[in-house]
Amino acid sequence: MAIDSYTKLKTSVASWLDRDDLTDNIPDFISLAEDRINRHIRVRSMEHRAEMSTVANQEYYGLPDNYIQMRHIAVQGTPNNDLEYLTPERFDTDLVGSGKPKYYTLIGNELRLGPKPAGVYTVEMVFYRKFSHLSDSLTSNKLLEDHSDLLLYGSLLEAEPFVKNPESAKMWGLYFNQAIDAIASADAKDRHSGGALAIRSDWTRVTQVQYWSTISNNWNTNSDNWDDNWTEWSVDLGMSWANIRQNWNTINEIWSD
């Protein structure tokens, strides 16, 4: 039987437990499993996009409903301005005045922007949102559609301690964790699938040599200064700093040729 509705999920949980006296408890097992799943996975089907407009001199804004975690946030414009996360402590010590927001932090259920917006800006958030709990009025959702096995294993995992069966709880915990790992792996492959990697056309050998030369010049400048203080310094293989620099220069000469 395909588990494609809340009713069928409850029936399957009762069947796998081989119990017909848990009708009132099974919704609790499912709800607890949903909470556990929302804590454990971050997949593309949980991502949502929201926009908001700032208000001049207002730095706090409410987070969207069912918000779990930020994925990306930016002030819209040409170009867009990605916001950098700062801890709340850094906000209080480093940011003063108003202007176009460059940073954000999270305090409770609020988003704080810094510096304070000087006017109206459009801020776009991409964030992870909790899967809504199934119920008699919400009989299906994306979690059930895509990962019914995970919901079943999670519900059975929550049920076994209730029926005093710790050995079965270990088994369902194993199945649950295996499903979590498989879902995460599939999501990662999906995000990074596509064409083969290609070398950028503007990354020529001349560019490489110039870039390598810049690194080498900086290295030599810094190593001259470091030699004064690190004459006796050596690495595990016993090479002195001078030997390391000599090897670097040899590599650079080979590259330049």
What tokens were used for 235?
Answer: 């690495």
C-alpha angle 126/131/135, rounded to 5°?
150
179 and 225 share one domain: no
* Half-sphere exposure for 20 (CA within 13 Å, toward CB): 0
150 and 32 share one domain: yes
39 and 57 share one domain: no
Tens of pLDDT, residue by residue over 88-99, are 988 888 787 889
78 and 111 share one domain: yes
pLDDT at 91: 86
CB 54 within 8 A of CB 113: yes
Q: What residues pair up with 49 in beta bridges, in sequence order?
A: 126
* Half-sphere exposure for 175 (CA within 13 Å, toward CB): 17
Residue 197 included in any domain: no
12 and 124 share one domain: no
Residue 46: pLDDT above 50? yes
Q: Which residues contact 173 (CB under 8 A, 6 or more apart)?
A: 157
Measuring CA to CA, which residue among 180, 189, 190 is closest to residue 150? 180
**Considering the chain, what is the average pLDDT of its residues?**
83
In the block, residue with structure tokens 């999920």: 9
Residue 199 included in any domain: no
Element spanning 26, H or E: helix 26-40
Residue 54 included in any domain: yes
Domain count, the chain: 3
Q: Which residues contact 237 (CB under 8 A, 6 or more apart)?
A: none
CB 37 within 8 A of CB 131: yes
Q: How confident is the model at residue 193 (pLDDT cuts 50, 70, 90)?
A: low
Tens of pLDDT, residue by residue over 153-187, are 999 999 999 999 989 999 999 999 999 999 999 99
113 and 54 share one domain: yes
pLDDT at 233: 42
Measuring CA to CA, which residue among 148, 174, 165, 179 is closest to residue 19? 165
Measuring CA to CA, which residue among 204, 209, 203, 217 is closest to residue 256? 209
Q: How confident is the model at residue 206 (pLDDT cuts 50, 70, 90)?
A: very low
What 136-139 contacts at long range (C-beta under 8 Å, 24+ apart), as own/partner pairs, is 136/6, 138/6, 139/5, 139/6, 139/7
Residue 200 included in any domain: no
DSSP string, 20-86: SS-TTTHHHHHHHHHHHHHHH---GGGEEEEEEE--TT--EEEPPTTEEEEEEEEE-SSS-EEPEE-
pLDDT at 230: 43
Q: How confident is the model at residue 252 (pLDDT cuts 50, 70, 90)?
A: low
Domain that holds residue 244: 205-256
pLDDT at 93: 82
158 and 35 share one domain: yes
Residue 124 included in any domain: yes
In the block, residue with structure tokens 């700093």: 241
Residue 196 included in any domain: no
Tens of pLDDT, residue by residue over 2-37, are 999 999 999 999 999 999 999 999 999 999 999 999
pLDDT at 246: 53
Q: Which residues contact 29 (CB under 8 A, 6 or more apart)?
A: 13, 22, 155, 156, 158, 159, 162
Q: Is the entire prediction scored with pTM above 0.75? A: no
114 and 51 share one domain: yes
19 and 54 share one domain: no
Average pLDDT over residues 122-127: 96
183 and 137 share one domain: yes
29 and 135 share one domain: yes
Tens of pLDDT, residue by residue over 128-139, are 999 999 999 999
CB 69 within 8 A of CB 127: yes
90 and 156 share one domain: no
Final residue of a domain: which of 129, 150, 177? 129
**What DSSP character marks residue 240?**
B
Q: How confident is the model at residue 1 (pLDDT cuts 50, 70, 90)?
A: confident
Residue 198 included in any domain: no
Amino acid letter at 140? S
DSSP string, 161-195: HHTT-HHHHHHHHHHHHHHHHHHHHHHHHHHH-SS
Tens of pLDDT, residue by residue over 110-123, are 999 999 999 999 99
